[in-house]
Amino acid sequence: MTRGDCFEAVADFKAASVDGVYVLGGVSESVCQIAVGVNKVGMVLLGGLNPVAAAVESGSAAGNVAERYAGF
The answer to whether 45 touches 71, Cβ cutoff 8 Å, is no
Evaluate if residue 4 carries a pLDDT over 50.
Answer: yes
The secondary structure of residue 66, as a DSSP letter, is G
* DSSP 8-state assignment for residue 64: -
Q: Is the pLDDT at 67 greater than 80, yes or no?
A: no
Domain boundaries, the chain: 3-69
pLDDT at position 53 over 50: yes
The model scores a pTM over 0.95: no
**Amino acid at residue number 19:** D
Confidence of residue 72 (pLDDT cuts 50, 70, 90): very low
Query: What Cα–Cα distance (Å) separates residue 70 from each residue in 18, 37, 64, 66?
Result: 24, 19, 12, 7
pLDDT digits (tens, 9 = 90+) for 10-43: 787 788 777 778 888 888 899 888 888 888 888 8
